[in-house]
Amino acid sequence: MKNLKIFVVSDSVGETGEQVVKAAATQFRPNFDGVIIRRFPHISSDDHIRNIVEIAVMQDAIIAFTLVEKRKRQLMKDLCQQLNIDCIDLLGPVIELFSRKLDEQPLEEPGLVHKLDEDYFKKVEAIEFAVKYDDGRDPRGILLSDVVLIGVSRTSKTPLSQYLAHKRYKVANVPIVPEVEPPEELFQVDPRKCFGLVISPEKLHAIRKERLIALGLSDDAIYAKKDRIEKEIAYFYKVVEKLGCEVIDVTNKAVEETANDIIERLERLKNMS
């Protein structure tokens, strides 16, 4: 039984090339008997390409490559032809076809697919985080978060958490209620990543009344009474003072506007450190 050795050469991680090679190899050796696949990732220089081709000559290997830069693809082809090495360009023909169809030049930037994948999974992770640590349901998330939001009920903590999560920030939010002591974890985080959300008593009164009506309840419940709201806001400011965090008035702000405000503050903080 003949052996088959394939070098997978890439200017990125080489996953794409390896999957194509494996898919083809299984048509001959479903169990990969006698098939050796060696990956050469992050190839960035002409010398790397020359060295790989020389090794392929010594080991009688086939070279399958995914190189986004046209000049490097051509160098690989030329060297393999000179040294009588079988090679296959897995990516070049597709790039060239797309270039002709779009009448555009490719970026020739390695690893873009993986950057997109990484960005997507970070977003999903942040969204799942926001759901898991919403409304103070698990205070352990406070210490793991990028942003902590605190505020009395109906100050847009949850929608703001979700909006920031779509921007890849891990957010935990904690309701502030006079009868409930804030979790200890809240006083252990950097106050600069903690933001208190406040709203005018009049606006909050109207929002809470609408909420009660939507739930089919009486709008004169304690939850919506003005003296109760003023008590909650007064307690909120006591907690904020103890924490030393910034306060954002969300009375007349859309969620997007508040989120952008927070992101700008975080970016300034990052640039200062």
pLDDT digits (tens, 9 = 90+) for 247-259: 999 999 999 999 9
Where is the binding site, in residues?
151-158
pLDDT digits (tens, 9 = 90+) for 171-211: 999 999 999 999 999 999 999 999 999 999 999 999 999 98
Out of 1.10.3470, 1.10.150, 3.40.190, 3.40.50, select the CATH number for domain 114-272: 3.40.50
18: closest CA among 6, 3, 34, 30?
Answer: 6
Strands 147-151 and 87-89: unpaired
Q: Where do we find the tokens 């100050």?
A: 155
**Residue limits of CATH 3.40.50.2300 in the chain:** 4-110
User: Rounded CA gap, 129 and 169, in Å?
Assistant: 9
pLDDT digits (tens, 9 = 90+) for 106-145: 999 998 887 877 888 899 999 999 999 999 999 999 999 9
State the DSSP string of 128-145: HHHHHTGGGS-GGGGGG-
pLDDT digits (tens, 9 = 90+) for 65-94: 999 999 999 999 999 999 999 999 999 999
User: Rounded CA gap, 110 and 238, in Å?
Assistant: 52
Contact 229, 202 (CB under 8 A): no
Q: Determine phi and psi for 222, rounding to 5 degrees.
A: -55, -40
Non-local (6+) Cβ contacts of 226 within 8 A are 201, 205
Where is the binding site for ADP, in residues?
151-158
Homologous superfamily of the 4-110 domain (CATH): Response regulator (3.40.50.2300)
